[in-house]
Amino acid sequence: MLTLTSEIRTPYHRMRAGAKLAALCAATVALFVMDSIAAMALASAAVAGLYLVPGMRFARAGLGLLKPVWFFVALVLLWHGLTGDLQLGTVIALRLIAAVALANLVTMTSRFDDLVEVVMWGLSPLKRLGVRTAPLGFAIVLVVRFIPVMLDKARLLIDAWRARSPRRPGWQVALPITLVAVDDAEHVAEALRARGGFDMD
Amino acid sequence: MERQFTLIALFAALIAVLGLVPKFTLASGIPITAQGMGIMLCGTVLGARRGALAVLLFLGLVALGLPLLAGGRGGLGVFAGPTVGFLIGFPIAAFVTGWIMERMRGAPVFPAAIIAAVIGGILVLYIPGILGMVAMLELSVTQATLSMAPFIPGDLIKAGLAAALTAALYKARPSSVLSRA
Amino acid sequence: MTPDSTAIGPVRLTGVTHGFGDRSVLRDLSLTLSERRIGIVGRNGSGKTTLSRLIAGLIAPEAGQVTVAGVDVARDRKAAIRTVGILFQNPDHQIIFPTVEEELAFGLRQLGHDKTAARAEAHTMLARFGRADWAERPVAALSQGQRHLVCLMSVLAMAPRVIVLDEPFAGLDLPTTRALRRYLDAVPAQVIHVSHDIAALSGYDRAIWLEGGAIAADGPAEATLAAYLQAMEALGDADADL
């Protein structure tokens, strides 16, 4: 299954997912409380340092994940530059980069299954209130299993378009793709019913 | 019961797939990312509650590190960024879209869906979206709105397409359109 | 085999290599296909699906060239769609439009006909198959075999010189398979049929057996298919795709 977890081993991989998430929350709050350019520069350097500990390859991968942020960095600098407050703009831009980079760091160093476990653990108090949390685990499994299946079928349909048209696929291909979702939902529901229905705790 | 559950799960997958396939082209040649249509479809097809659940499931998986947002983006980073307002808005948009769709059960599918998709999928979505940008980027509401304005025409087209898809789906698989049940 | 290359444009593969990532699926393949009915057999993973996509121009080879009647099908898509058509396995992963006439008219519009002309031609094609009443019928209301026929008509409507079939009869009952087979036998275009089911290729002119991306055997259909069958039976369960 394709996740954003990095294959490059880091010391952070060994840390418990729950601990990393807690640290991330605290650090993000801290970032949004800071407002001096000096503090922000220091924080950004610290984040960069965290990325460099496992090596250049890891740091470069982290940089790749920051691509969507640059548009907003430019936007912020532009708007705040126009209103004459470039210093504020720089603080915001740095904060943006640091916050996103820290969050990405947790994603890159935590396994999907470990994060799911943390979520289920976090939801466990609901069980005492009578809410069933097991269906969520099953729902996650279903979605993860069906995305590649649906993607394959979507690609077949796109091929069927390309086989008859030199132009790029039009929005109409979304209809049969949606039908795939509906029909697969029907088949899985049938399989569920055949296996005794929805009693899963 | 089981079918409602599997429809929620598979529409969550559908949102992902519509973001992961190459962009579709409109007749005029303009490329569009279909993922926004997926959010609207969750509302128009599944209704308010189930549509919102499908979107929440999708977002949960994105947060857990799956690259399911259009362009293969994902992870906690997207929730720490300036588009977090839109992400929070997605399930709300699906809910309102579905809610309007359910209220308009008496009207034909296409007009009901287009009204639902425009109000829920655009108006309601942009409010938390723009507020999120205001908070994260310390922009004024005007500045944030102007920054996002170029995307609105595309979203209006997507709402129309989502409505057309819902109508076609209702013809092909009427029982799957839970918002009309 | 003396092909009449003016009537049936040859499919020519020259030094075709294609892979996915590190895996090379087809290695330096060169073929000239001009016989009227050609079967391509091989096990799962032998490269026959990739070959079918290459001939249809849906993928461009990493090395080498694929031409059909002189058209570089991967690069010149406009000419390619009027030269080669392809029929896939599952109609549900192939039919795009909700009604039969829209589905048939789609290819015709892509060939340049305007809306009215395309619809008229679609109706003509339906009438030729005795299905004029299908025009406005929703595809969802058709049976599986009927949907297969819609896919076939959609391809034939574009009158390509070459039709590639990628296991199009999977999952159909015998009478339906026979009926579709009869329609295909009557088609004037060259048919290149990819299959792992030997019975589907009976009466063909030539057969090519692909194994691991290279040609294991190539010649008159009867003899080649017999060799293939023999080899498959000798393998037993050891090599099953399980």
pLDDT at B9: 97
Q: Can you tell me the distance from the alpha carbon of A143 to that of C195, in angstroms, rounded to the nearest whole number?
A: 32
- Residue A57 burial (10 A CB sphere; 0-12, 13-18, 19+): exposed
Q: Where residue C2 falls among pLDDT bands split at 50, 70, 90?
A: very low
Q: How many CB atoms lie within 10 A of CB C242?
A: 4
pLDDT (tens digit, 0 to 9) for every residue of chain A, 201 residues total? 789 999 999 999 999 999 999 999 999 999 999 989 999 999 999 999 999 999 999 999 999 999 999 999 999 999 999 988 899 999 999 999 999 999 999 999 999 999 999 999 988 888 888 888 889 999 999 999 999 999 999 999 999 999 999 999 999 999 999 999 999 999 999 999 988 766 544
B partners (3+ CB pairs within 8 A) are A, C
Q: Can you tell me the distance from the alpha carbon of A140 to that of B9, in angstroms, rounded to the nearest whole number?
A: 8
Strand partners, C31: C13
Number of domains forming the structure of chain C: 1
Phi-psi domain of C64 (left: phi exceeds 0; alpha: psi -120 through 50; beta: other): left
Q: Can you tell me the distance from the alpha carbon of B31 to that of B29, in angstroms, rounded to the nearest whole number?
A: 6
Asked if C88 and C62 count as a contact pair (C-beta separation under 8 A), the reply is no
For residue C110, the chain B residue with the least C-alpha distance is: B27
pLDDT at A186: 95
Q: Which two three-digit tokens encode residue A155? A: 């690609």
Asked if C17 and C50 count as a contact pair (C-beta separation under 8 A), the reply is no
Asked if C189 and C165 count as a contact pair (C-beta separation under 8 A), the reply is no
Q: Pick the closest to residue C142 from C107, C101, C105, C170 (CA basis).
A: C101
Q: How many CB atoms lie within 10 A of CB A53?
A: 11
C1 within some domain: no
C240 within some domain: no
C236 within some domain: no
> Strands C63-68 and C71-72, how do they pair?
antiparallel
C149 contact partners, CB below 8 Å, separation of at least 6: C129, C131, C180, C183
**Residue C25: is its pLDDT beyond 90?**
no
Question: Whole-prediction pTM value?
Answer: 0.91
**Average pLDDT over every residue of B14-19:** 96
What are the counts of helices (DSSP H) followed by strands (DSSP E) for chain A? 8, 0
Any alpha helices (H) in B21-46, and if so which ranges?
35-46
C105 within some domain: yes
A72 Cβ under 8 Å from any chain B Cβ = yes
pLDDT at C9: 62
**Residue C3: is its pLDDT beyond 50?**
no
Q: Flag if C140 and B173 touch (Cβ within 8 Å).
A: yes
Q: Considering only CA atoms, give the Rg of chain B.
A: 16
**Residue B74: is its pLDDT beyond 90?**
yes
Per-residue pLDDT of C118-136, as tens digits, reads: 999 999 999 999 999 999 9
C127 within some domain: yes
**Average pLDDT over every residue of B16-37:** 89
Q: Flag if A164 and C107 touch (Cβ within 8 Å).
A: yes
For residue A176, the chain C residue with the least C-alpha distance is: C96
Give domain limits for chain A: 11-114, 132-194
**CA C16 and chain centroid, separation:** 19
Asked if B43 and B120 count as a contact pair (C-beta separation under 8 A), the reply is yes
Q: Flag if C77 and A162 touch (Cβ within 8 Å).
A: yes
Query: Could you please report the per-residue DSSP string of A72-122?
Result: HHHHHHHHHHHTT-HHHHHHHHHHHHHHHHHHHHHHHTS-HHHHHHHHHHH
Share the mean pLDDT of chain C. Answer: 90
CATH code for the domain of C31 = 3.40.50.300
C192 within some domain: yes
Q: Which domain holds residue B73?
A: 2-179
Asked if B7 and A185 count as a contact pair (C-beta separation under 8 A), the reply is yes
Per-residue pLDDT of C177-231, as tens digits, reads: 889 989 988 899 999 999 888 888 989 999 999 988 889 999 999 999 999 999 9
Asked if A94 and A48 count as a contact pair (C-beta separation under 8 A), the reply is no
CATH code for the domain of B139 = 1.10.1760.20
pLDDT at C20: 73
Asked if B130 and B141 count as a contact pair (C-beta separation under 8 A), the reply is yes
**CA C234 and chain centroid, separation:** 29
Report chain C residues whose CB lies below 8 A from the CB of B172.
98, 138-140
> Strands C37-41 and C206-211, how do they pair?
parallel
Of the residues A149, A159, A164, the best mutation for testing chain C's interface (the one with the most C CB atoms within 10 Å of its CB) is A164
Q: pLDDT exceeding 90 applies to what percent of chain C?
A: 67
Interface of A with B in 108-167 (CB under 8 A): 108, 110, 112, 115-116, 119, 135, 139-140, 142-144, 146-147, 150-151, 154-155, 158, 167
**Average pLDDT over every residue of C147-153:** 95
Q: Which two three-digit tokens encode residue B167? A: 């109508």
- CA distance, residue B165 to nearest chain A CA (Å): 6
**Residue C60: is its pLDDT beyond 50?**
yes
Per-residue pLDDT of A127-183, as tens digits, reads: 888 888 889 999 999 999 999 999 999 999 999 999 999 999 999 999 999 999 999
- Residue C63 burial (10 A CB sphere; 0-12, 13-18, 19+): middle
Residue C14 DSSP SS3:
strand
Per-residue pLDDT of B77-116, as tens digits, reads: 999 999 999 999 999 999 999 999 999 999 999 999 999 9
